[in-house]
Amino acid sequence: MPAPLPPFTRETAIQKVRLAEDGWNSRDPQRVSLVYTPESQWRNRAEFVTGRAEIVAFLTRKWVKELDYRLIKELWAFTDNRIAVRFAYEWHDDSNNWFRSYGNENWEFDAEGLMQRRFACINDLPIRESDRKFHWPLGRRPDDHPGLSDLDL
């Protein structure tokens, strides 16, 4: 990522969302951090993160706790340099308790297509393992796997 660049069209906003989903599904904090500006500002739940080094530290902690993480993002709205998404991801903790986490993100991009601000609101729902809906092998979601709307999430 960072292409596509703002101003976004519906098509390029959808591409940007899928690229973000693919990056996060890699669970590679260093790779993910490179799509953010060096001084990117985040609010993730009640945590405030600034800059790539803090992003890497945050994501490293996240994916140590959230095991077998699989994420789906979907475009909600967009303007010239902003995109809103809704998402859900499934994961389990080290005691094999499963969760589906639902949320919304608001993104703002600079002219080079790097994300300069990210605001995320997230809620965790305990689920039974048998209620999981995201079953692809770890990594990128296959193109033929249903999205959030298809799964009625």
Residues lower than pLDDT 50 in the chain: none
Residue 3 confidence (pLDDT): 79
Residues 104, 76 contacting (CB under 8 angstroms): yes
Would you state the pLDDT for residue 22? Answer: 98
Helix (H, G, I), strand (E, B) or coil at 80: coil
Domain extents in the chain: 10-131
Location of structure tokens 């969302």 = 17
CA nearest neighbour of 139 among 86, 85, 90, 69: 69
Task: Kindly report the CATH class assigned to 10-131.
Answer: alpha beta
Residue 134: Cβ within 10 Å count? 20
Strands 67-78 and 47-50: unpaired
pLDDT number for residue 2 = 65
Separation between Cα atoms, residue 19 and residue 57, nearest integer Å: 21
Reported as a single tens digit per residue, the pLDDT across 107-149 is 999 999 999 999 999 999 999 999 999 999 999 999 999 999 9
pTM over 0.85: yes
